[in-house]
Structure 1
Amino acid sequence: MGLRHLAICAAVALLVAAPATGQQRALTPRQSEAAAAYDKALAEFKSVLAERRRQIDAREPLPNLPGQALYLARVAVISTYKDLTDAMPSRIGRPNKFEIPPAYFDAEIEPLIDEYSRLFDVMEAPPANAQNSATPFKDVVDLATVIARAKGLAPDHAAAAGRISLGLFFAETNGKQNVRNGRSNTYMGSFQTGPSEDRNGHRKWRALKGEIAAINPALAARDDKEEARASGIDRRFNHWTNVRDGLMNAHAEVFREIPGIVKTLPDQIDQMKLFELIQIVPTPTRSALKSGDVLNYRVSSPTIMKHLRNNSIFAFGQADRARTSASFREILGAMWLFNRKFEKAMAKYAEIKPR
């Protein structure tokens, strides 16, 4: 009786295992191709991480734009994983600590992304003459708030400008001041501006400085000190002056639109996303705001779509990359890689917001 029972159990086990084995053998060409592409991308990501770590630890000179190869390898991993889960939904796994949709990211490789971040911290470390602030987050909020007041906003909407701008700081540098850029020789500093953007913002600030001083004399006095302190260096590596000029260059005029924006986008993270799009694709974002129907405003320029993809929007997987156009509602939805950064900004704002 015992032997017969064991034989039955063995037969049942074979029957249960058979579908799984058959399923593995019956992968479609698309599934096999997707699995091979992901394995290849993952191996290449590990290789470039190891190579950059070896170079840093050995104090070897790094190549020009040392972060670009890392960035492209990370994009390839996320892209090929999304293609794999599109072909085989059963490969979608558990949630991950980065809050990336599980269809795009295998939580088992979280340590690789941690190493990716550590390498960028080294490659983007501020230059030796960078001028830090003891209150970097408060500086962003204070500058944005007073600029918004000078642009005519009421106190509650000016406060929204401060909160939104703190989100921009996290979106651009994850809240790190005076950083360089591992993927660009042009954009630098806390708000990642180019030389021409810095000059333009500085010019606009000088024109507004009288109104700023009337609203907040103490902030104007602080500005005088920071301007003198930054004399002789690239102003983008003084946290205060880079935030100030970055906001004046790209965002100050749009602050006037905040009353309408908060009505259209009551979600505060969506508000931050829209202002980040001013940084990424300024012209179509301003056009969308002027259209009166910002969420349904559609972009279809190949150049604009390329800029979006270069900033991790519609960048991952064949289906996303095949898009030739998108509405702002769709763009905001595709900015999920920014969510965690904006959540950090919201938490920091809750700590320092004016009472």
Structure 2
Amino acid sequence: MVIRSYTAAPTVALALGLFTPPVSIATDTIVFTAAVLVSPAMGQPDTLTKKQSDALNVYSNAVNRFKSILGQRRVQINSNQRLPNLPGQALYLARNDMMSAYKDLTDALPSKIGRPNKFGIPPAYFDADSEPLLDEYRKLFDLMDAPPAKAQNSDTPFKDVVDLGIAIARAKGLDAANAEAAGRISLGLFFAETNGNQNAGNARSNRYKGSLQTGPSEDQIGQKKWSAIKKSVAAFNPALSRRDKMEEARVGNLDHRLNHWTAVRDALMSTHADIFPQVAAIAKTLPDPIDQMKLFELMQIIPTPTRAALKSGNLVNCRISDPTIMGYLRNNSIFAFGHADRARTSATFREILDAMWLFNAKFEQARSQFDEIKTG
């Protein structure tokens, strides 16, 4: 899940089952020796510089803080204790601190860059030995981001997102091929916001919720924009129009964000529908579907600069240098880890897209799911 340009939101997954037995946090402490490093080639210890030793100690402390907060939240959840307001915030910051400290460590000591990890995080930013910690992190967010009791699920959540994306794109004048691309992009947004879990809550924000994690004003804007095109949609897709009427009746006076269908529909209309007509041009500039998804995700993170970049005629080389915008990117885990990344004062959109590697796995999953829907 991304952070809007004016607040914070987590990477989340929805809890659908029983509590998961806790990962052993206290007994799994990673122990570092700050004074020496054993060289794999020599088999003998090499003396570290003070900078390297300090970086090793900072990383060790960051790992232990992350473990401590993971353990605290697990105990609170398993014992049914009342959680603090925004219980995911401390977890999120501790995870970021750990990754930042590791990047500083590998910058100072490149030999610490290890094997690839199952999350697809660049090895310079994450030690694969810490995979169980991120597993537990995700399990805790599964539980903390469970949907509200009144949330209205769909039996076909992925297909709903694709169908709505395609229908909205068609209403905006796209041909069949480009409308399908809009449907794939829409599914990517769903996975980016909630790991593909419908009606998710938000353990790091009291403002955002639902399948595309929108705020109240975004949802209201989306409802109004949908009203303006729904007759057009009904003309070429009466089945989708009937489904829409059914879901409108079902949600009634509830918050539209508590119904998967209306939450997705309103979110797409509010933020992305006006950009769908540019899908063909975007695909020429960014032929990789993952890059296309990333660009539309940036519409949620930094909408005004992204719109300006699209109008510039030189999207990939358009440069962001405003400190506030750079801060919004960092709040969304882009240029957020390590002193070198955080010291950046500007970046082109090509550099921003490349730095969105935490989104890669989500978008790959969305692309695979889209292919299943289209072939199924």
TM exceeds 0.5? yes
Does structure 1 residue 130 correspond to structure 2 residue 148? Answer: no
What is the Cα deviation at residue 324 of structure 1? Answer: 1.0
Match of 1:6 in 2: none
Identity level (%): 66
What is the Cα deviation at residue 79 of structure 1? Answer: 0.4
- SS of alignment partner, residue 284 of structure 2: helix
What is the Cα deviation at residue 130 of structure 1? Answer: 0.3
Does structure 1 residue 235 correspond to structure 2 residue 256? Answer: yes
Alpha-carbon distance change, 91 to 229 in structure 1, aligned in 2, over 3 angstroms: same
Does structure 1 residue 301 correspond to structure 2 residue 326? Answer: no
1:117-196 pair list within 5 angstroms: 117-196=138-217
Match of 2:272 in 1: 251
**What amino acid maps onto 2:177 in structure 1?**
D
Relative to its length, the structure with more helix (as a share) is: 1
**What amino acid maps onto 1:33 in structure 2?**
D
**What amino acid maps onto 2:288 in structure 1?**
D
Match of 2:18 in 1: none
Distance between the aligned counterparts of 1:261 and 1:154, measured in 2? 15
Does structure 1 residue 320 correspond to structure 2 residue 320? Answer: no
Alignment deviations for residues 65-88 of structure 1 (CA, whole Å, 9 cap, x no partner): 000000000000100000000000
Alpha-carbon distance change, 139 to 19 in structure 1, aligned in 2, over 3 angstroms: closer
**What amino acid maps onto 1:254 in structure 2?**
I
What is the Cα deviation at residue 29 of structure 1? Answer: 1.4
Does structure 1 residue 32 correspond to structure 2 residue 50? Answer: no
Does structure 1 residue 204 correspond to structure 2 residue 225? Answer: yes
Alignment deviations for residues 120-151 of structure 1 (CA, whole Å, 9 cap, x no partner): 00000001110000000000000010100000
Distance between the aligned counterparts of 1:17 and 1:184, measured in 2? 45
TM-score of the pair, normalised by structure 1:
0.93
- SS of alignment partner, residue 246 of structure 2: helix
Distance between the aligned counterparts of 1:250 and 1:18, measured in 2? 54
Match of 2:15 in 1: none
Distance between the aligned counterparts of 1:116 and 1:50, measured in 2? 10
TM-score of the pair, normalised by structure 2:
0.88
Does structure 1 residue 343 correspond to structure 2 residue 371? Answer: no
Distance between the aligned counterparts of 1:182 and 1:53, measured in 2? 14
**What amino acid maps onto 2:200 in structure 1?**
V
**What amino acid maps onto 1:130 in structure 2?**
A
- SS of alignment partner, residue 275 of structure 2: helix
Distance between the aligned counterparts of 2:263 and 2:302, measured in 1? 20
**What amino acid maps onto 1:345 in structure 2?**
A
1:9-20 pair list within 5 angstroms: none
Give unpaired runs (5+ residues) of structure 2. Answer: 1-38
Distance between the aligned counterparts of 2:223 and 2:40, measured in 1? 69
Distance between the aligned counterparts of 2:265 and 2:128, measured in 1? 38
Does structure 1 residue 70 correspond to structure 2 residue 91? Answer: yes
What is the Cα deviation at residue 306 of structure 1? Answer: 1.1
Q: Of the two structures, which has the highest relative contact order with CA contacts closer than 8 Å and spacing of 6 or more?
A: 2
1:107-126 pair list within 5 angstroms: 107-126=128-147
Distance between the aligned counterparts of 2:167 and 2:78, measured in 1? 44
**What amino acid maps onto 2:119 in structure 1?**
F
Alignment deviations for residues 213-255 of structure 1 (CA, whole Å, 9 cap, x no partner): 1121110111011011111211101000000000000000000
What is the Cα deviation at residue 303 of structure 1? Answer: 1.3
Give the superposed CA RMSD: 1.4
Distance between the aligned counterparts of 1:271 and 1:58, measured in 2? 44
Does structure 1 residue 352 correspond to structure 2 residue 373? Answer: yes
What is the Cα deviation at residue 20 of structure 1? Answer: 5.6
Alignment deviations for residues 93-113 of structure 1 (CA, whole Å, 9 cap, x no partner): 000000000010000010110
- SS of alignment partner, residue 224 of structure 1: helix
Report which stretch shifted further, 229-238 or 96-105. Answer: 229-238
1:249-288 pair list within 5 angstroms: 249-288=270-309
**What amino acid maps onto 2:284 in structure 1?**
K
Match of 2:116 in 1: 95
Alpha-carbon distance change, 196 to 277 in structure 1, aligned in 2, over 3 angstroms: same
What is the Cα deviation at residue 28 of structure 1? Answer: 1.0
Alignment deviations for residues 328-348 of structure 1 (CA, whole Å, 9 cap, x no partner): 000000000000001100110
Distance between the aligned counterparts of 2:245 and 2:233, measured in 1? 12
**What amino acid maps onto 2:213 in structure 1?**
Q
Match of 1:13 in 2: none
What is the Cα deviation at residue 298 of structure 1? Answer: 0.6
What is the total number of aligned residue pairs between the two structures? 338
Match of 1:7 in 2: none
Distance between the aligned counterparts of 1:17 and 1:133, measured in 2? 53
Give unpaired runs (5+ residues) of structure 1. Answer: 1-15
**What amino acid maps onto 2:184 in structure 1?**
R
Distance between the aligned counterparts of 1:307 and 1:353, measured in 2? 35
Distance between the aligned counterparts of 1:22 and 1:266, measured in 2? 48
